[in-house]
Amino acid sequence: MGKKAVLFLFILFCTVWFPVEVFAMPASPGEQQEGIDVSQWQGNIDFEQVAASGIQAVYIRSSMGSSYVDPYFEQNYQRAKAAGLKVGFYHYVTARTDSQARYQAQFFVHTVRDKEFECRLAMDFEDLIGLSGTEANQIGLAFIQAVEAYSGKGAVVYSDVPNAQSVFGGGLTEYPLWVAAYGQSLDTVQVNWSSWAGWQYTDQGEIPGISGVVDRDRFTDVMFLDAPGKVQPVSAPVSSSETVIYQVQPGNTLWSIARLYRTSVASIVQENGIVNPSLIYPDEVLRITIQDNVPEADDYFYTVRAGNTLSGIAAKYRTTVSRLVSLNEIPNPNLIYTGEQLQIPGDSDFGMETYTVRPGDTLSQIGEMYDISVARLASVNGISNPNLIYPGEVLRLPGSSD
């Protein structure tokens, strides 16, 4: 789906969701502890150094969608526990139906089933492209209710401020809020929750033991379980299918719709008797049968927050500004919008050394410094124009040229 269409749909469902009373947002009562949240994007972490720096708790991404287990999940868990840190887990939700949401909840709980943990299980639901406010709330509520039912443990909603203001509401506000808000005081922020349990206050934190940047958090007592330990016994989920009705929006293509529902163009064509896959019309109604256990795409979607820059996002996810610009069809790398969803490539190499571009640098100069050809640097970093790199951009450095 094109960038303009994504932004249009995001604004659309923000405006059609029901009006609710919003509140200024103090912290939940109790002691606050310093924390971080990590995933594969941080690579190898020395948790002994992390703990020595004053960090007390860590949220670890365990899983995503219906089948993806973070490749650093087990390692991060074992090392964090060995360092004496309090541990929690979060799951990145990609569901498009209630049934998929419940399937993903069971998959999440099954993934962490043999782990001892101290923090609430967290729902990270920011891939909202193509969903109305009503749909986003129904899917989110189905997921978090199923997480608590399958696990026997408490859960928490992770959200940025715009979604906590304009999208998420109703039954989701009965669960504690872990809010992402960078460079702003929460005393003046108004959302559909009366208080925050966790606050992710930057995505550009620097901590001993972690190469690159990391999310920094403050966690109140509400984020921690009254009864730490393992989840109750749970089996692996069993998939079922469901047929959804989709009304084609201006700018849609069959490819973008298929990606939205993680199915194939061929399946949509066959189910709807479409003669020309290149020709669909706004308001056309399509039937789409989808499975609960749809395969996960390698890529990831990130919701732009106030204060973000493209170079900062690239550094966080160990990619390059050039790749983000190309993948998301961004006309001006210096202009991104709060609430915009950016596709993040999922093939970062965490074993590679990196170099942060400085003012005046050229790709040829960097290549000479590290004995790497310009062609190879451009290829590894997805740079289409070798004469155009940006200060602050983080380049991956492959092995030296032969």
Q: Which residue of the set 37, 127, 217, 393 is catalytic?
A: 37
Output the pLDDT for position 79.
96
- Give average pLDDT by consecutive 10-residue segment, the chain, 402 residues: 40 43 78 96 93 99 94 95 98 95 98 98 93 96 99 98 96 98 87 96 94 95 97 95 92 85 86 91 94 72 85 82 84 85 67 73 89 84 79 69 37
- CA–CA dist 50, 32 (Å, integer): 18
Q: Which helix (H) or strand (E) holds 147?
A: helix 133-151
Q: Which residue of the set 31, 46, 118, 126 is catalytic?
A: 126
Q: Fold for 241-291, please state it.
A: Membrane-bound Lytic Murein Transglycosylase D; Chain A (3.10.350)
Catalytic residue flag (residue 226): no
The position carrying tokens 């298929």 is 258
Residues 6+ apart with CB under 8 A from 352: 380, 396, 397, 398
Output the pLDDT for position 123.
99
Output the pLDDT for position 7.
41
Report the CATH superfamily, name and number, of domain 300-397: LysM domain (3.10.350.10)
Assigned CATH for 3-229: 3.20.20.80
Is the CB of residue 219 less than 8 Å from the CB of residue 197? yes
Helix axes 3-16, 133-151, angle to 10 degrees: 80
Output the pLDDT for position 350.
46
Which sequence spans correspond to the domains of the chain? Answer: 3-229, 241-291, 300-397
Output the pLDDT for position 356.
78
Closest listed residue to residue 98, CA positions, set 141, 154, 131: 141
Output the pLDDT for position 266.
83
Give yes or no on whether 241-291 and 300-397 have one common fold. Answer: yes
Work out whether the CA dihedral 127, 131, 133, 138 comes out positive or negative.
negative
Catalytic residue flag (residue 126): yes
Closest listed residue to residue 77, CA positions, set 47, 34, 54, 108: 47
